[in-house]
Amino acid sequence: MHTDRPRAISSALRAAIPPTLPILAGFVFLGITCGVYSVSLGLPWWTPTLMACLIFAGSAEFVVASMLVGPFAPLQAFVTVFIVNARHLFYGLSMLERFRGLGHKRPYLIFAQCDETFSINYSTHPPAGVDEGWFMFFVSLLNQLYWVVGCTLGGMLGSVAALNVAGVDFAMTALFVVIFLDQWTKDPSHASAVAGILASLVALALFGPDGFMIPALALILAAITVLRSHLEPVYDACESESMASASDTCKSGPVAPASDTCENGPVASTPDAAGAHHGGDAR
């Protein structure tokens, strides 16, 4: 029994490497950007490494870095980071059954569940004979290690090299613009996005650039609540159409991978899974 445990762990590690390799390049280079950006704000080189280890929330780390050099506003920091990563609540709900009974591995799996890790763990099953719990653990661990390496390299590079970091502070703005545009292209209704833009502009006009964040978030929440009854039928119709398309694919005799998808249910049509595959942030 004791000799089988190391073999099971090593098998799970080997199985977790191939699906995480595409994440490696993206995490390292974006992590370098995060590290250089943090140092350009005046933070020590080890700050991005510490954030990568303790926060591991991609875009939220750009937000935290800018807030660390700004006025002390813990409530604004909490609300902003919560809103930025609120989608993780749905990731957790989707993985409740998969994480059940995993013992000491479960706390880390919950902590390390970023967009890309959720996408792999939700949609990928380990090869036959590989323990699923250890497989998901190593997928999570490898992805975080990639991010830590990138942030560390960026922090060191930004502190020792004579880099011209003019414009690097725009990296966070550019990141959120890309996320917004990606969601815009996939969203069947742009009402929520337009409501968010208008609410932000109203809050900015009323409260100014230093105090508009929390009022803007409150206005966005109120607007989405009001629009909910109009938006839900649109999303339900879109999901029904996706499921019907998947069903037609199954009936027409797809290739083996698609057949597996049909037998297990249309995973890609799940809203949070689709978001993780196509619209997740860096991590």
Q: What is the pLDDT of residues 31-52, one digit of tens each?
A: 998 998 899 888 999 999 999 9
Q: What is the pLDDT of residue 96?
A: 86
| Distant-in-sequence contacts of 89-95, Cβ < 8 A, 24+ apart | 90/271, 90/272, 91/115, 91/118, 91/122, 91/272, 91/276, 94/118, 94/122, 94/270, 94/272, 94/273, 95/121, 95/122
- Of all residues in the chain, what percent carry a pLDDT higher than 70? 78
pLDDT higher than 60, residue 270:
no
pLDDT band for 193, please (50, 70, 90 cuts): confident
Of residues 75 and 277, more confidence is placed in 75
Q: What is the pLDDT of residues 83-136, one digit of tens each?
A: 778 778 878 888 988 898 899 999 999 999 998 898 899 888 888 889 999 999
Mean residue pLDDT of the chain comes to: 80
Q: What is the pLDDT of residue 97?
A: 87
pLDDT higher than 80, residue 161:
no
pTM across the whole model = 0.65
Q: What is the pLDDT of residues 60-95, one digit of tens each?
A: 898 899 889 888 888 888 888 887 787 788 788 889
